[in-house]
Amino acid sequence: MPDPRERDLGWLAAIVLVSLNLRAVITSVPPLAVDLRADLHLGAVATGALTTVPVACMGLFAPVAAAATRWLRESTVLSAGVALIVVGAGARGFGGVVGLFLATALAGVGIAVVGTLLPGLVRARSPHRVGPVTGIYTAALIGGALIASSLAEPVRAWLGVATQRSLAFWALPAAVALGIWLVVARRLNASRAADPTGPVGRAVVANSHRLPWRDSSAWLGTGFMAVQSLLFYGTLAWLPVSTMDHGMSARNAGLLLGLFTLTQVVTAFVVPALAHRTGDTRAWVAVTLCTTTVSLLLVALIPYAFPGAPWLWGALLGLGMGGHFALALATITQLAPSAAQAPAYSGMAFLFGYGVAAVGPVLLGFLAEASGGYRVPFLTLTGLGVVALALGVAATGRARLARARPAPDADRGIPVAG
């Protein structure tokens, strides 16, 4: 009989591999955007939509993933989500403009499904280490985004194919993740069948698939996720553009974005573990969001205060955002009354969070055009950082109270009658 620790390591490895593919479809496009525009005769709006379409799908289809768990096991639904990423990522390489957009949307649906279910699976499998495990898969998610953005152009050159064709390459790592996850899921399902009341047994909670519209704690978590997502996507969209407006080369702006992403990996991995060790997530939410908010203010007011200032501000922004992104995911999971209800809480948070993230950069662009610069957009983000801080502290306070209550039967693997 396999050692339980080996099963846990195998499950965690599968989760990490799946997470590595949750942003690659999105971040593999910007480095190739200029060539895609030329090859497919795309306008600026259509090119930008290649990034916003999957983000919008991540929000719109998150509730669908939660609802699907009413009829199917979470592991089965997650497998279907990864399969959609494989098909969508591969199909992007064919069919011209129509094929590119339809396949990108399909991959976005898959990302929505996987992203919605991961928090609940983590809580069900590791109920006493939600924060650290969330940090591990969040760091993998961000790391996968960095890898895809860094290797998109080298992969295209290595393959020696048209730019659109090269996008299909990113189906390969997703296919590997799918294969390994299917093996792990089969073992989990076998354990569930052998011991339906054990820690991996399926917990059934009445109405667990319904979004928690009337739960004030769910709204706090949703607000926290939405505003901190807007901080990230607003910075992602306009930090490189604002630095180039001040004279930075396009190459260095790309490197700055890479630094911004790399520092996120560090805090996404470390901060949830520190919060778990200290036992109070609120302090770490305050530290990370204060870092982000102050950095946004510095970008707005003194972007070039000294040589190298943009690089320091970018690194600090990444350190702040990686930490509070991972903490937001862990908080949403812990706000749910049980592991079985976690997908519904995640679905609600992602519906609004990624919905705001999809339109936020566009609204900031209007502010930039109206004000004739980037100070007003970054001052707006600074104000939103204060809002995120208030929501985050309140949400993590609620989550702390929820953790102090006795674990519901569903988290102990005991079916609850409806």
pTM as predicted = 0.83
Q: CA-CA distance, 339 to 409, in Å (whole number)? A: 10
Determine the Cα–Cα distance for residues 247 and 380; give it in Å rounded to an integer: 23
- Using an 8 Å Cβ cutoff, are 233 and 357 in contact? yes
Ordered per-residue pLDDT tens for the chain, 418 residues: 455 555 678 888 999 999 999 988 888 888 887 788 888 888 767 877 787 888 888 888 988 888 888 888 888 899 999 999 999 999 999 989 999 999 999 999 999 999 988 888 888 888 788 888 888 989 999 999 889 888 888 898 899 999 899 999 999 999 999 999 999 888 766 665 555 444 444 444 444 567 888 888 899 999 999 999 999 988 888 888 888 888 888 778 888 888 999 999 999 999 999 988 887 889 999 999 999 999 999 999 998 888 899 999 999 999 999 999 999 998 988 888 887 888 888 889 988 888 888 788 888 888 888 888 889 999 999 999 999 999 999 999 888 776 666 555 445 443 332 2
Q: Identify the three-state secondary structure at position 378.
A: helix
pLDDT digits (tens, 9 = 90+) for 184-201: 888 766 665 555 444 444
Query: How far apart are the C-alpha atoms of 111 and 56, rounded to whole Å?
Result: 11
Residue 178's CB is within 10 A of a number of other CB atoms, namely 23
Classified as helix, coil or strand, 21 is: coil
Short-list 60, 82, 145, 49, CA closest to 354:
60
- Rg of the chain over all Cα atoms, to the nearest angstrom: 21
Measured CA to CA, the distance from residue 20 to residue 38 in angstroms comes to 29
